[in-house]
C-alpha cells in the first residue's frame, strides 16, 4: 500500500501559495511550478514542491512544518537533524558518491540556517525528494520485514560512532518503562473517571509483569548495555523502498532520533510487524505472532546491526519486543483512565481496545519466546 501516491487532483490554490511562499525562503533552484500536500503521517504537515530548472528538467523537494504540540523545542529537533544527517552523509558519500540522491539531505534556508520560522511561529525545513521510491503503511510480506529491519539496522550502524551526548533528548523519558508504569499507578489510584473497575483484568495483567519494566534500564546501569543514538519510530512507513529493486534505500522521519537503546528500536519492529492485526483490532483472535515475519526481522537487522551490537543486546532482542509492546499497552491504558487526552480516538473505549490488543500480543510473544530466542541464537552464529 502506497502511503503517498501521486496526486491527480486539481492543485489547491491555498496550498500552492503556501508552498511557494515557504519554498522561496530556501535555496532552491528553478521556478516554482507545483505544490501539493502529502497526506501521510500523523504529526507533521508535509508538502511536495516541484520546480522547473533552467534546462527544463523538473526537480522536487519535500517541505515540512514541525508540529510544536509534539516537539516543544523544534530548534533542538533541527540541531539533532543537522548533526545526524551530516554524520550519515559524510560516511555514505565516502563509501559511494553515487548514493547522494538516495540519502536524506537538508537544504539551507536563505537566512543561513536549515530552517525558517514564519509569523505564526511554525518552523519549516526542506528535504530532497528521494525519487523512484515508495513507503508502505503495513508490512505485507517477509521481504518487506527483512528490508525494513536491514534499513533500521544500517541506520543504527551509521550513527553507532556518534556520541549520544551530542544529541538532545527532545521527548524526555520516551522509553522509560518504569516511569510509564509509575504514571499508570498514579492515574489508577486517582481514577478520575471511575474507569478502573471496568479494566481490572488488564490492570492486573500489567501489574503481574511489573518485573519486566526495569530490566533493560538495570542492564544499562550495570554497564552491560550502552546508550546509543536511536531512531525511536521504527515502523515500515519510515523506510523508503526502491520501486524497481524493492530494496530499502534509506530511513526517514528522524525527528525522534534521540539517545536511547538499540533494543527499543528492534522491540518496536517486533510490535508493529509480527502481528497481522491492526493495532486497534477488537477481535483478539486475529492477534498472532507470525514467526516468519519475526525471523525476517532478525535476519535483516543482524545483517547490518550485528556489526556493532554486543552479546547482551543480542540476547535481549526477543525481550525487547515483549517490553515495548507492554509499554505501549501501559500508555494506552493510562490514557483511557485519564479520559483519552493524549492519543487520538475515533470511538468509545478506543484506547482500551488498543491496550487489549497489545496485551494479547504480549501473551503471544511470551508463548513463542523459547522458539524466538532459539532462532536468534541460530541466526547470530551463521
Q: What is the pLDDT of residues 293-330, one digit of tens each?
A: 999 999 999 999 998 999 999 999 999 999 999 999 99
- The larger pLDDT score, comparing residue 103 to residue 358, is at 358
Rounded to an integer, the average pLDDT of 148-159 is 95
Q: What percent of the chain has pLDDT over 90?
A: 79
pLDDT at 43: 67
pLDDT for the residue numbered 9: 58
- Closest alpha carbon to 362 in 260, 209, 182: 209
- Residue-wise burial string across 141-175, b where 16 or more C-beta atoms lie within 10 A, e elsewhere: ebebbbbbbbbbbbbbbbbeebeeeebbebeeebb
Q: How confident is the model over 320-342, as a mean pLDDT?
A: 97
> Residue holding cell 496550498?
15
Cβ proximity of 246 and 147 under 8 Å: yes
pLDDT of 47 strictly over 70: yes
Q: State phi, psi for 48 to the nearest 5 degrees.
A: -115, 130
d(CA 352, CA 92): 44
CA distance readout (Å), 302 to 69, 119, 156, 163: 36, 46, 11, 22
**Do the beta carbons of residue 242 and residue 329 sit within 8 Å?**
no
Within 10 Å of residue 381's Cβ, how many Cβ atoms?
6
Please give the average per-residue pLDDT across 324-340, as a whole number: 97
CB-facing half-sphere around the CA of 91: CA atoms within 13 A: 14
CA distance 319 to 322: 5
Burial class (CB within 10 angstroms; exposed 0-12, middle 13-18, buried 19+) of 134: middle
Q: Which residues of 69-81 are buried (b: 16+ CB within 10 A; e: fewer)?
A: eebeebeebbbbb
CA 354, CA 278: separation in Å to the nearest integer? 9
Least confident among 65-74, 109-118, 184-193, 369-378:
65-74
- Grid-cell match 537503546, residue found: 261
Q: What is the pLDDT of residues 205-216, one digit of tens each?
A: 999 999 999 999
H helical segments located in 124-214: 142-158, 177-190, 200-207
Q: Name the phi and psi angles at 108, rounded to 5.
A: -65, 150
Neighbours of 249 (CB within 10 A): 21
Q: What does the pLDDT read at residue 315?
A: 97
Which residue segments constitute the domains of the chain, with CATH numbers given?
A: 13-129 (3.30.200), 142-380 (3.90.1200.10)
- What are the tens digits of pLDDT across the range 91-143? 876 765 544 445 789 999 999 999 999 999 999 999 999 889 988 888 989 99
* pLDDT score of 65: 94
Which residue is listed with cell 508504569? 181
Q: Please state the length of the chain.
A: 382
User: What's the first-to-final CA gap in the chain, in angstroms?
Assistant: 33
pLDDT the model gives residue 5: 42
R_g over Cα of the chain: 22
Q: Which residue has the higher pLDDT, 65 or 70?
A: 65
Q: In what order do the strands lie in the sheet with 133-134?
A: 133-134, 239-242, 248-251
Whether the pTM exceeds 0.75: the reply is yes
In whole angstroms, give the CA distance from residue 292 to residue 3: 24
Task: Using alpha carbons, select from 245, 301, 249, 252 the residue that is nearest to residue 273.
Answer: 301
d(CA 256, CA 253): 8
State the average pLDDT over residues 72-98: 85
Mean of the pLDDT values across residues 186-191?
A: 98
**Residue 227: per-residue pLDDT:** 97
What CA–CA distance (Å, rounded) separates 328 from 320? 12
Amino acid at each position: 500500500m502506497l502511503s503517498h501516491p501521486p496526486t491527480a487532483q486539481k492543485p489547491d490554490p491555498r496550498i500552492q501559495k503556501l508552498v511557494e511562499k515557504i519554498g522561496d525562503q530556501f535555496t532552491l533552484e528553478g521556478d516554482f511550478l507545483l505544490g501539493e500536500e502529502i497526506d501521510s503521517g500523523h504529526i507533521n504537515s508535509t508538502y511536495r514542491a516541484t520546480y522547473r530548472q533552467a534546462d527544463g528538467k523538473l526537480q522536487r523537494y519535500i517541505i515540512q512544518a514541525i508540529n510544536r504540540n509534539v516537539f516543544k523545542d523544534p530548534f533542538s529537533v533541527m540541531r539533532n537533524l543537522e548533526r545526524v544527517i551530516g554524520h550519515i552523509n559524510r560516511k555514505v558519500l565516502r563509501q559511494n558518491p553515487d548514493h547522494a540522491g538516495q540519502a536524506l539531505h537538508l537544504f539551507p534556508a536563505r537566512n543561513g540556517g536549515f530552517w525558517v520560522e514564519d509569523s505564526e511561529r511554525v518552523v519549516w525545513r526542506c528535504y530532497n525528494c528521494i525519487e523512484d521510491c515508495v513507503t508502505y503503511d503495513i508490512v505485507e510480506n517477509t521481504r518487506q520485514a527483512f528490508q525494513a529491519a536491514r534499513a533500521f539496522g544500517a541506520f543504527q550502524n551509521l550513527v553507532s560512532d556518534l556520541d549520544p551526548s551530542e544529541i538532545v533528548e527532545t521527548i524526555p523519558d520516551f522509553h522509560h518503562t518504569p516511569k510509564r508504569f509509575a504514571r499508570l499507578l498514579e492515574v489508577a489510584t486517582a481514577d478520575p473517571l471511575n474507569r478502573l473497575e471496568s479494566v481490572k483484568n488488564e490492570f492486573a495483567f500489567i501489574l503481574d509483569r511489573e518485573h519486566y519494566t526495569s530490566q533493560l534500564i538495570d542492564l544499562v546501569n550495570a554497564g552491560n548495555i550502552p546508550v546509543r543514538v536511536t531512531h525511536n519510530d521504527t515502523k515500515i512507513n519510515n523506510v523508503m523502498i526502491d520501486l524497481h529493486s524493492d530494496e530499502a534505500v534509506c530511513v526517514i522521519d528522524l525527528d525522534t532520533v534521540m539517545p536511547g537503546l538499540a533494543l527499543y528500536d528492534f522491540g518496536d519492529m517486533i510490535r508493529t510487524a509480527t502481528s497481522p492485526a491492526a493495532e486497534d483490532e477488537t477481535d483478539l483472535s486475529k492477534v498472532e505472532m507470525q514467526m516468519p515475519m519475526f525471523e525476517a526481522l532478525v535476519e535483516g537487522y543482524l545483517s547490518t546491526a550485528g556489526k556493532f551490537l554486543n552479546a547482551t543486546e543480542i540476547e535481549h532482542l526477543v525481550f525487547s519486543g515483549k517490553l515495548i509492546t507492554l509499554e505501549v499497552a501501559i500508555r494506552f491504558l493510562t490514557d483511557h483512565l485519564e479520559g483519552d487526552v493524549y492519543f487520538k480516538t475515533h470511538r468509545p473505549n478506543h484506547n482500551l481496545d488498543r491496550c487489549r490488543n497489545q496485551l494479547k500480543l504480549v501473551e503471544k510473544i511470551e508463548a513463542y519466546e523459547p522458539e524466538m530466542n532459539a532462532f536468534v541464537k541460530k541466526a547470530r552464529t551463521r
